[in-house]
Structures are given as C-alpha cells and as structure tokens.
Amino acid sequence: MPLWNFYHPTDAYNADDKQAIAESITAIYAQFMPKFYVGVVFQPIESESFYIGGVARNNFIRIWIDHIARDFPDEQSSVRFINAVNKVIAPWVKDRGFDWEFHVDETPFSMWSIQGHFPPREGTEDEARWIAQNKASPRTHA
C-alpha cells in the first residue's frame, strides 16, 4: 500500500497536475497490486514554512513514500524503482525547475490493515482476485 506525500510550494500544482501525477504514480504499481492500494497526498507549504539548511525555499519538492504492501527484495530492485520514480516525477519536478528529493520507508506487512481487514499476501490466489476485482476476499476478510 504505497502512500506518496508531496510537500510542495503552494503554487506548484493545479488540480489537473495533481490528477496526472496521481495517475502516473498509480500506473507504476497497477502492474502488480490493486490500484486502490495507491494513495497520493499533496501538501502545499508556504514559502516561509519550508527551510533547507536554515534558508527559506520556495522551489523545493520533498516526496515521502511509504511502502506497506511490498518491499524490495534486493538492491537492484531498489535502484530500478528509484530510477522509475525519477522518470515519473520529472515532468512535474525536474522539468519545471524544482529541486527535489524523496525517500521510501518500508513498513512490515504484518503492521497494516485495510478497513479493519488483513489484506491477502502477495502472489496468492486471493490477491490475484483482489487485483482483478478490487474487492476483499471472503477467505481473508471474514
């Protein structure tokens, strides 16, 4: 269950930008998990409220990514993901002249639930049905 938090200058994105960003991020994950796992939050920050090195900045985007449903099995996978993220965010960050940084936190699978239910494990028949139907499984959600 990835959750992306964008901390950005107040005038960085309009509603159409946010929609396009969220769709692009969701597309990264939709190949191997249900789309409803993916969340994106935009948090505008006033210029006098974002400091880097003790100096107010109004051209910086900070992205905090939480991964809960999956983790990376090895460093190569992590590098591929980091490269994919940089490519996906480039039109809204790099190409607009913003400075940026992001990081990924990985939460253990056992430490989350969705609407009070434990989600199916990766690679199971129940997860395949969840992906196909975006519905909870009666076997894992009694």
**Residue 135: what pLDDT?**
55
Distances from the Cα of 28 to the Cα of 38, 70, 86, 92, angstroms: 10, 13, 12, 16
Ranges of CATH 3.30.429.10 domains, the chain:
3-111
Residue 104 has pLDDT above 90, yes or no: yes
CA distance 9 to 62: 10
Residue 137 has pLDDT above 70, yes or no: no
CATH class of 3-111: alpha beta
| Residues 106-135: tens digit of each pLDDT | 888 778 777 777 777 777 887 777 767 765
- Comparing 142 with 67, which gets the higher pLDDT? 67
**Residue 31: what pLDDT?**
80
**Residue 89: what pLDDT?**
96
Nearest CA-CA partner of 72 in 63, 83, 62, 61: 83
Residue 136 has pLDDT above 60, yes or no: no
- Comparing 56 with 137, which gets the higher pLDDT? 56
**Residue 69: what pLDDT?**
67
pTM of the model: 0.81
**Residue 51: what pLDDT?**
94
Q: Is 32 helix (H, G, I), strand (E, B) or coil?
A: coil
| Residues 39-89: tens digit of each pLDDT | 999 999 998 999 999 999 999 999 999 998 677 888 998 999 999 999 999
**Residue 142: what pLDDT?**
41
